Amino acid sequence: MVKHEDVRAEAKKLLESGKVKYIIAYELGADGWKANPVFIKKPEDVDKIIWGPTCFHNLIRFVVDEKRRKVQQKNPDTRPVGVMVKGCDSRAIVILLQEKFIERKDVHIIGVSCEKTGVIDERKLANKLKGRKAKNVEFGPDENFVVTTEEGTVDLPASEIMADRCLECIAHVPVITDVLFGEKTKRTVPHPFGSVEKIETLSSEDRWKFWSEQLEKCVRCYACRSVCPMCYCDECVADTITFAVSPDTTAEEKAQKIKWLDKSPVISENIFYHMVRAIHLAGRCIDCGECERACPVNIPLRMLNKKLEKEAKLLFGYDVGFDSEKPALISCFRDEDPEDFIR
């Protein structure tokens, strides 16, 4: 079991020694049962740090912010930031290293093993509780969670309320760390691409219908993009100003930039946006599932990315986010790469 005290002691040590600038971790939210991201700057604040089944967030998103801030500063503090990572999150670091967005010395990685279970899915839990409100959720001794409501405590199996991403997780122990808490448990994942299997059996018409209905719901709040540690581009086709403007950018340049999509949340534009995002995440998405969790209208966005992850695996034997020394999938060519799908 990962003990809060151990993580806190490590955090305290890091802050006291001045080895890290600050630590990105989890704290208990105002609702009393869910975790929130927290930024610990002082050793006396380390007792805020928690670890549990509501630590959904991929905190690498904030490592991206830190990098953005740093490039703006004249004399940036070059010490690393400490960051708590789950297995999936650690794979995001691998991608950022692979793409040279950050350097290894920029982060001090405090890994936590998800051991037997990962995080819960709030919507699954709400359905299970049927109106009762959760007050506390903890890891159970086996593949289960202990949920406390106003009516008492219940044991719920992981298979029922765990997030889909965790049910299909292939890296429940962080793949890159400076320090690791928890055990390197073994877990078998019978269906690593289970969530896309059903839709793969549908005809293309039915798939089109499914996605049209799903993406019609999109309100284009861009939470999926905003929460994603891989969506770090300064320029995005989805924005009205689709490129970085400096005082030297000429009016001509601005006028000639193509407006790729309209702001209207209509099916054509929504599909375009989500396709662009999915394609740009091919071979990069590490399946932290944050896009799907953040979506206020519950679009199964993870499925899109999972499908591309599967393609990368089947076509190129490429596992995303395990080895930062290997070139990124979409920026390398090998002689043995298959070409039979090019027509």
Build a one-symbol-per-residue string for 82-121: x at contacts with other proteins by CB under 8 A, - elsewhere: ----------------------------------------
Closest CA to 290 of 175, 163, 177: 163
* CB 191 within 8 Å of CB 301: no
- Tokens of residue 179, six digits: 């320090």
152 vs 247, beta carbon nearer other proteins: 247
Is residue 34 close enough to count as binding other proteins by CB under 8 A? yes
Q: Identify the residue among 100, 250, 334, 343 touching other proteins (CB under 8 A).
A: 250
Strand partners of residue 27: 36
H or E segment to which residue 157 belongs: strand 152-157
Residue 29 to residue 82: CA distance in whole angstroms: 20
Minimum CB separation from other proteins for residue 336, in Å? 40
CB of 62 to other proteins, least distance (A): 7
Query: Is 332 a binder of other proteins (CB under 8 A)?
Result: no
Contact flag: residue 272 with other proteins (CB under 8 A): no
For the chain, what's the residue count?
343
Residues of this chain, 229-248, that bind other proteins according to CB under 8 A: 239-241, 245-247
Whole-number minimum distance, CB 41 to other proteins, in Å? 9
Spell out where the chain has E strands: 23-28, 35-40, 81-85, 107-112, 134-139, 144-149, 152-157, 179-181
Q: Which of residues 14-33 bind other proteins (CB under 8 A)?
A: 29-31
Kind of pairing between the strands at 134-139 and 152-157: unpaired
Distance (Å, rounded) from C-alpha 160 to C-alpha 164? 10
Within 10 angstroms of residue 141's Cβ, the number of other Cβ atoms is 9
The single residue among 226, 317, 323, 338 that binds other proteins, judged by CB under 8 A, is: 226
> Is 78 strand, coil or helix?
coil
| Chain residues that interact with other proteins, rule: CB under 8 A | 29-31, 34-39, 57, 61-62, 65, 123, 126-127, 133, 214, 217, 219-223, 225-227, 239-241, 245-247, 249-252, 254-255, 257, 262-266, 290, 293-294, 296-299
